[in-house]
C-alpha cells in the first residue's frame, strides 16, 4: 500500500474517475461499474475497481481542495501507475448564461492557490487539460444532447468568500465556474506525463444564488458520469 491508499499493486485500473466526495465514489462504483471491489478504506476515502463495458475502471474519492487531491493523485500515479485521471466534480457557475445542472469541461484552470508559484519559482504556470480526453468528453456530451460548456475554471482554496468582487472580475475574463481541485490535477498529471480532465456539474450559481435540489443534482450527475466513462473508455 501507499501512505494513504490501502490497495495492493494491480488492484487499481489505469483509468480512474475522481469525485471529491468518497460516498460519490461508492455510488459510482455501485451504479455504473460491474463487479466493483473496494480497494481502499483508509481515512474512509473510498476507492473501487470494476469494469465498464468490459474495460477496467477505478473510482477514488479525493477529498476537498488542492492539498487533499494532490496526495491521492500523486500516490495513484507514482505508486499505482494510473495513466488516465478524470475528475467528476461539482462547481459554482459565475457566467450568466450558465445554469445549474449544466456540465462544464475544464480546458484550463486559474487559481489562488500558491502551490504552483512555489513549484515554478513564482512564475504563472497554466494548468491545461489533456486534449484527447477533452475532445472525447466533448463529443460524448454533445452526442447526448447535453448543454456543455468548455473553458477556463477557477480553482479556489476557499469555499466561502467575504466578497464576490474577484469572481465578478474573473467572469468578465470568461472564467466559467469555481471549484477547488482542477489546478492540482492538471499540474501533477503533467509532471507525471499522464492524461487528466475535469468534468464538472454546476451545483449552484455563485452570483445569482440559484441552487439545485439533491434529486436534480443526482440526475445531472449520472449524465456527467456516463460522459466521463465514455470519454475514458473510447478507443
Ligand X SMILES: O=P(O)(O)O[C@H]1O[C@H](CO)[C@@H](O)[C@H]1O
61 sits near ligand X (criterion: CB under 6 A): no
Quick one: what does residue 50 bind among ligand X, ligand URA, none, with the CB cut-off 5 to 8 Å set by partner type? none
**Residues whose CB is less than 8 angstroms from the CB of residue 161 and which lie 6 or more positions away in sequence, other chains included:** 167
Q: Please, which residue, 36 or 106, has the CB nearer to ligand URA?
A: 106
Annotated catalytic, 97? Answer: no
Task: Report the distance separating Cα 77 and Cα 85, nearest Å.
Answer: 9
HSE-CB at 150 with a 13 A cutoff on CA atoms is 16
47 sits near ligand X (criterion: CB under 6 A): no
Q: Please, which residue, 19 or 50, has the CB nearer to ligand X?
A: 19
Smallest distance, ligand URA to C-beta of residue 218, A: 15
Q: Please, which residue, 13 or 185, has the CB nearer to ligand X?
A: 185
HSE-CB at 225 with a 13 A cutoff on CA atoms is 23
Beta strands 34-40 and 47-52: pairing type? antiparallel
Strand partners, 16: 58, 85
Q: Catalog residues that contact ligand URA under the rule CB under 6 A.
A: 90-92, 159, 178-180, 203-204, 206
Residue with the three cell numbers 470494476: 50
Give residues in contact with ligand X (CB under 6 A): 19-21, 64, 89-90, 159, 179-181
Amino acid at each position: 500500500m501507499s501512505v494513504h491508499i490501502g490497495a495492493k499493486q494491480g488492484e487499481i485500473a489505469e483509468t480512474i474517475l475522481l469525485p471529491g466526495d468518497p460516498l460519490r465514489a461508492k455510488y459510482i462504483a455501485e451504479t455504473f461499474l460491474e463487479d466493483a471491489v473496494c480497494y481502499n478504506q483508509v481515512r474512509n476515502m473510498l476507492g473501487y475497481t470494476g469494469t465498464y463495458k468490459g474495460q477496467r475502471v477505478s473510482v477514488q474519492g479525493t477529498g476537498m481542495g488542492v492539498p487533499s487531491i494532490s496526495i491521492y493523485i500523486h500516490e495513484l500515479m507514482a505508486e499505482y501507475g494510473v495513466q488516465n485521471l478524470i475528475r467528476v466534480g461539482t462547481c459554482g457557475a459565475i457566467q450568466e448564461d450558465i445554469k445549474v445542472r449544466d456540465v462544464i469541461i475544464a480546458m484550463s484552470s486559474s487559481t489562488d492557490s500558491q502551490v504552483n508559484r512555489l513549484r515554478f519559482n513564482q512564475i504563472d504556470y497554466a494548468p491545461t487539460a489533456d486534449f484527447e480526453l477533452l475532445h472525447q468528453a466533448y463529443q460524448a456530451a454533445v452526442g447526448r444532447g447535453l448543454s456543455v460548456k468548455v473553458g477556463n475554471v477557477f480553482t479556489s482554496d476557499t469555499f466561502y468568500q467575504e466578497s464576490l468582487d474577484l469572481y465578478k472580475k474573473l467572469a468578465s475574463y470568461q472564467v466559467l465556474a469555481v471549484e477547488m481541485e482542477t489546478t492540482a490535477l492538471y499540474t501533477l498529471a503533467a509532471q507525471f506525463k499522464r492524461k487528466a480532465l475535469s468534468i464538472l456539474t454546476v451545483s449552484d450559481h455563485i452570483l445569482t444564488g440559484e441552487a439545485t435540489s439533491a434529486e436534480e443534482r443526482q440526475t445531472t450527475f449520472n449524465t456527467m458520469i456516463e460522459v466521463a466513462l465514455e470519454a475514458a473508455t473510447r478507443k
